[in-house]
Amino acid sequence: MRWSQILYTVSRYKNMTSTLLPFFLEGEVVKGFGRGSKDLGCPTANYALEVVQSLPKDFVPGVYYGWAQVDDGPVYEMVANVGWCPFYQNKQMSVETHIMNEFNSDFYGSNLKISLVGYLRGEMNFDSLDALIAQIKQDIQNAKDNLNQTSAQKLKEHNFFSHKQV
């Protein structure tokens, strides 16, 4: 792929995501593959397939940053992969959310609300697990940097996070 094609693709994705964001998702946390904690040192909360299938058909796969809330708890920074995780060759699309907080235990069965605020990058494949881990660390830092902006901070207080699950 030539640089002009890459720049066009990135520009197209940025335009598509800017019309869809912020995007709000809510659903039950289900057990995933367990790779986030075990392989990557980056635990993730996963949604059931029906929540993933509720995404718009033109939703751009990739890595997003935003805010997350478990049940009625505090709202935390998060980074999420929306897509097929090419390194692991997933057959089904998933939404895997890394919440930037240390939790004392798993929270399977809890209600998870996320606000996808911005788009960091498209999905990529990696030559090694170490390369994937390095990119995840960079994604987390990029997410934190972006979430410190005033426009992103305002979404932390969005009424989506204040309504109670019935």
Paired tokens of 23:
């995007």
| CA Rg value for the chain | 15
- Looking up tokens 């995780």, which residue turns up? 85
Find the Cα–Cα–Cα–Cα dihedral 12, 13, 16, 21, rounded to 10°: -150
Phi, psi at 105, each rounded to 5°: -155, 170
Tell me if 80 sits within 8 A of 114, measured CB to CB. Answer: yes
CB 40 within 8 Å of CB 105: no
Q: What is the DSSP string of 56-111?
A: -TTPPPEEEEEEEEETTS-EEEEEEEEE--GGGT-SS-EEEEEESS--SS--TT-E
Residues noted as catalytic: 96
